[in-house]
Structure 1
Amino acid sequence: MRGVNSLTALFFSSMILPASLGSSQASRRDAQVVLSGTTDGVTGGQERYDGESVWRVKLGDHDRARREEVVQMFESLGGDIWHTTSDTIDVRLDSTSSQLLMDNQLHATTTIEPFIPDLQSLIDSINVDLESTSTSFKKKNNNRNKNKQDPFNLTTIDTPFHDTYHSVEDLYKFGDKLVETFDGKDGVVVTSFEIGETFEGKKLRGWSAKLQSNSSGSAMSTSGRTRTDRGGGGVTDGIEREFVVQSGQHGREWVGPSSAFYFLHSLILAATSDPSSEAALLLRSFTFTVVPLINPDGYTYSREHSRLWRKNRQQVGSKSCLGIDLNSNWGYKWRYPKAVSPCSESYPGKEAFEAYETKAMGYYLGNGTERGTKIRAFVDLHSYGQLFMFPFAHSCEDYPSDAEMLMEAGLGVAKAMRTKQGEGYEAGQACDLTYRAPGDAIDFAYGVTDIRWSYSAELRDTGTYGFMLPPSLIRPTADEITAGLMYLAKFIYVAEIAN
């Protein structure tokens, strides 16, 4: 590690880096756009990342205020920002750029270290696990009529479906099996719907579940005891309360869609197995909606061609680069940063809601009354970082009026997640905990559609695997976010319904 003078010396390196970092990574991105041909499961046709590594830049206290400048500097040089905290930045670089980073001067209080020194080796090791679990899943699916455990037997949470990653087709099949298995059972209503299409024509689909109200259900009180629920717990002025979970904005964040479906599956199972349970009460009080994969184009491209693909696959007027960063394209405090190239992983588009996916989901969030619902909660699942954050993301100078309540609920969620699996999660305001650009989903949900309980969750881990979370950690991750979402629903119930 090296450290002298000032972080501004990194900006001097922009005279050197674009010729190497910019050209080498831009050429690789060009290859991403034209990759074609047959693929073989998860790994076939995959772009390789030989010689690349992920570095953690640790800023000293003196440099925290300059986090945004450093992030923008790396982005302008073609670096792929993986994660930021108040005092660290994780960035993916090729071998030439990594050497230049080490050779250029950093502030004395700043250190840099490669915490994933060989990115391709990590991907290769995870792919071995993926191939093994994928093969096991296919065998069980093909042999499900021969007394083998059927991945699509949803009568148990122990289905092997929750132990590996899946194609868009299998994810959607799972959602349809939820409808087939549970709709009409013990008063449960499970429905599927479409909110639009992607640039490539894939369906954007969601699933909702609710439990029809009765006059004898038990309800939570602020003391944790139960009281009698006198009727339509989920209805206020003829409008159903809705709790929306969205995931998969970024193609490479595979654990989000898996966790979203695990949550809905677990909730329905718990409610149908015990009509007097808290799960049943919550399912009577809210319509729970999951949109598990808002970016199926990017997700498919990540699985079949380029593991670390982040954006959607929309044409943006560039001859060599595709895609919009969906989580920078929502219509609240959106602005166009002229310095960001269409090749950048964080390219926000030329205007808010230019992306097909954000436009469709934004309409869904903003027009609940057309469906007879009022959305009370919106949680956007991402990875990685183990964070649970409330608005605003675009600026810490813009503070939500409900900040105290949002923080109280968020701290409870973090505790519930830690209690479930032992993994620590941090709660707080998004702009403080991680660097976010304008146009964030939770800012739109809170600032435009008036969804009071709006949060963004960064799931596992804290950097050991980053986006390449092994399949053995899918279920524990999903289990802990399920505990967190259940806590949030109970908190809202006590705050808005029980009293």
Structure 2
Amino acid sequence: MRLVGLLLPLVLLALVSAGTVKDTPKKRFDNYKVYQLIIKNKIQLAAINKLSELSEKFNIWKEYDERTKQIDIMVQPEELSHFHEILKLNNIHSELVVPNVQTLIDEEQQQVTPQDNVSFGWTKYYELEEIQAWLDEILATYPEVTKEFIVGQSYEGRTIRGITISHGTDKPGIFIESNIHAREWITSASATWFINQLLTSQDPDVRNLADSYDWHIVPVFNVDGFDYSHKKDRMWRKTRQPHSTNACIGADANRNFDSYWLQNGGSSDNPCSETFAGDVPNSEPEAKALVEYLTAHQDEFKVYLSFHSYGLWLLSPYGHTADPLEKPENADDLLEIGEAFTAAVKALPYATDYVHGPTGTTLYVASGTSVDWVFNELNKEVAFTLEFRDKTGGSYGFILPPVQIIPNCEELMAGMLALIGKTKDLGYL
């Protein structure tokens, strides 16, 4: 029996290598439910964190929020009884926010019209091949102001592509990395929309934004995971590199950077965790490629932005600590930039409330992130994580209806105009 237990991970890894696992049917989430939990103490938090290590059964959608004391967690139907026993035993209050995850996934697809498949119009979520084809079209249509750049190759051999938009030389650069977490589809939808606006909008403010800076944008960073989330598992978050001693696949690329890596509880050393940091920093080919690219091109940009979902947050460094006394020298400036962003978004007709502040004290500790690495190791003084719609505890979570793509993008543009404007006013651009 012990021999079987030792061989099982190796057998599963062999199946992955042979492609057998990849040929499995697309995963369904019938009667999977999402609950919002209110966590009152460390014992309750430890109990839920222990469950979350079994990510197939208990999948954290939104990690513990230090400010609101909330966690969003998806539970598979076979574990509901066990889950409620754990809640009762630990006196944890819960609220059902998504009764059936598969229903949301089905509705996400049903909202697509025939016209959506004819043109790239931000009324549906596009697969990787469609986004790549659109990028090719953009590069061909605007050859004088656009240029492709290659970050590197993924574990499965896909190319991590970016696009530079520049209306001149020697302009301050802004780098945007999107969809590092595979299931966060609204991020690449927003990134491609933003690219299109920089190239086509006739709004004077947007034209000034496009013309005044060099934009370096990676619409889909986690190409393997993103492709897998479309074709096999809508809720897939991590990369797709197998682990050498464990059957679980992938790491959280946004915990894999060498900045306070695997410190202060901001990530996990369990390969089955959704926040697995990898065995060593830059263990994931994608993270390693980004580090090498950004290091080689660090003189080309001054601002770094990472697009995520969900929760409606604008988060600045530091992510590795929840100590309010440990903060960057320019913390006040970052707060001022954040205030400009949130006020601009709030002023739109949607009246959406973003919350801004340092990651570790405003939301939760997250160590080894791309934003903190750029801030700490490349000394870029303005770096933010944007967490788009849905709101925490909302009815959709990661499965944001396509009808909300454009509203989210409009909020992004309003916020971006304010963010870059304030950053310039403060002398960083």
Instruction: Tell me which interval the TM-score lies in, with the shorter structure as reference length.
Output: 0.7 to 0.9
Counterparts of 1:472-487 in structure 2 under 5 Å? 472-487=403-418
Q: Which amino acid aligns with 1:257?
A: S
CA distance in 1, matches of 2:139, 2:304: 22
3-state DSSP of counterpart to 1:428:
strand
- Write out per-residue CA displacement over residues 299-326 of structure 1, whole angstroms, 9 at most, x where no aligned residue: 1101001110111111221452211111
CA distance in 2, matches of 1:103, 1:117: 18
- Write out per-residue CA displacement over residues 268-309 of structure 1, whole angstroms, 9 at most, x where no aligned residue: 223xx47xx333433343211111111111011010011101
Counterparts of 1:9-20 in structure 2 under 5 Å? none
* Paired position in structure 1 for 2:301: 375
Q: Which amino acid aligns with 1:50?
A: D
3-state DSSP of counterpart to 2:311:
coil
3-state DSSP of counterpart to 1:89:
strand
Q: Which amino acid aligns with 1:302?
A: S
1:410–1:392 distance in 2 versus 1, CA, 3 Å? same
Counterparts of 1:265-414 in structure 2 under 5 Å? 265-270=196-201, 273=202, 277-318=204-245, 320-335=247-262, 340-369=269-298, 373-397=299-323, 398-414=326-342
Q: Is the 8 A contact 1:386 1:426 kept in 2?
A: yes
| Higher Rg | 1
CA distance in 1, matches of 2:354, 2:139: 32
- 2:20 pairs with 1:94: no
* Paired position in structure 2 for 1:430: 359
Q: Which amino acid aligns with 1:252?
A: R
1:112–1:413 distance in 2 versus 1, CA, 3 Å? same
Deviation at residue 257 of structure 1 after TM alignment: 0.5
Of 29, 51, 76 in structure 2, the residue corresponding to residue 74 of structure 1 is 51
CA distance in 2, matches of 1:106, 1:480: 42
Q: Is the 8 A contact 1:194 1:205 kept in 2?
A: yes
* Paired position in structure 2 for 1:210: 166
Of 127, 135, 152 in structure 2, the residue corresponding to residue 167 of structure 1 is 127
1:430–1:191 distance in 2 versus 1, CA, 3 Å? same
Deviation at residue 68 of structure 1 after TM alignment: 6.0
CA distance in 1, matches of 2:361, 2:59: 21
1:319–1:103 distance in 2 versus 1, CA, 3 Å? closer
- 2:378 pairs with 1:449: yes
Q: Which amino acid aligns with 1:137?
A: D
Q: Is the 8 A contact 2:54 2:273 kept in 1?
A: no
1:339–1:363 distance in 2 versus 1, CA, 3 Å? closer
* Paired position in structure 2 for 1:415: 343
Q: Which amino acid aligns with 2:244?
A: G
1:161–1:318 distance in 2 versus 1, CA, 3 Å? farther
Q: Is the 8 A contact 2:268 2:276 kept in 1?
A: no
Q: Is the 8 A contact 2:345 2:411 kept in 1?
A: yes
Q: Is the 8 A contact 2:197 2:206 kept in 1?
A: no
- Write out per-residue CA displacement over residues 211-267 of structure 1, whole angstroms, 9 at most, x where no aligned residue: 227xxxxxxxxxxxxxxxxxxxxx4xxxx4210111111111111011011112112
CA distance in 2, matches of 1:93, 1:486: 39
Q: Is the 8 A contact 1:461 1:469 kept in 2?
A: yes
Deviation at residue 71 of structure 1 after TM alignment: 5.2
CA distance in 1, matches of 2:334, 2:197: 25
1:487–1:177 distance in 2 versus 1, CA, 3 Å? farther
Q: Which amino acid aligns with 1:405?
A: D
Counterparts of 1:89-238 in structure 2 under 5 Å? 89-104=71-86, 105=88, 110-129=92-111, 132-133=112-113, 135-138=114-117, 140=118, 151=119, 160-184=120-144, 189-212=145-168, 235=170
Select between 379-388 and 414-423 the one with higher mean Cα deviation. Answer: 414-423
3-state DSSP of counterpart to 1:413:
helix
1:438–1:199 distance in 2 versus 1, CA, 3 Å? same
Q: Is the 8 A contact 2:178 2:187 kept in 1?
A: yes
Question: Identity rate of aligned residues, in percent?
Answer: 26
Q: Is the 8 A contact 1:68 1:435 kept in 2?
A: no
Q: Which amino acid aligns with 2:157?
A: G
1:75–1:495 distance in 2 versus 1, CA, 3 Å? same
1:200–1:97 distance in 2 versus 1, CA, 3 Å? same
3-state DSSP of counterpart to 2:172:
strand
CA distance in 2, matches of 1:242, 1:339: 33
Q: Which runs of 5+ in 1 are unaligned?
A: 1-26, 39-44, 141-150, 152-159, 214-234
Q: Which amino acid aligns with 1:468?
A: I
Q: Is the 8 A contact 1:411 1:427 kept in 2?
A: yes
Deviation at residue 56 of structure 1 after TM alignment: 0.8
Deviation at residue 343 of structure 1 after TM alignment: 2.1
- 2:6 pairs with 1:50: no
Select between 483-492 and 322-331 the one with higher mean Cα deviation. Answer: 483-492
Q: How many residues of Structure 1 are paired with residues of Structure 2 in the alignment?
A: 401
- 2:176 pairs with 1:245: yes
Q: Which runs of 5+ in 2 are unaligned?
A: 1-11
Q: Is the 8 A contact 1:251 1:310 kept in 2?
A: yes
Q: Is the 8 A contact 1:211 1:280 kept in 2?
A: no
- Write out per-residue CA displacement over residues 363-418 of structure 1, whole angstroms, 9 at most, x where no aligned residue: 2222325xxx3421111111110111101112122311111110110111112222
1:125–1:253 distance in 2 versus 1, CA, 3 Å? same
3-state DSSP of counterpart to 1:395:
coil
3-state DSSP of counterpart to 1:170:
helix
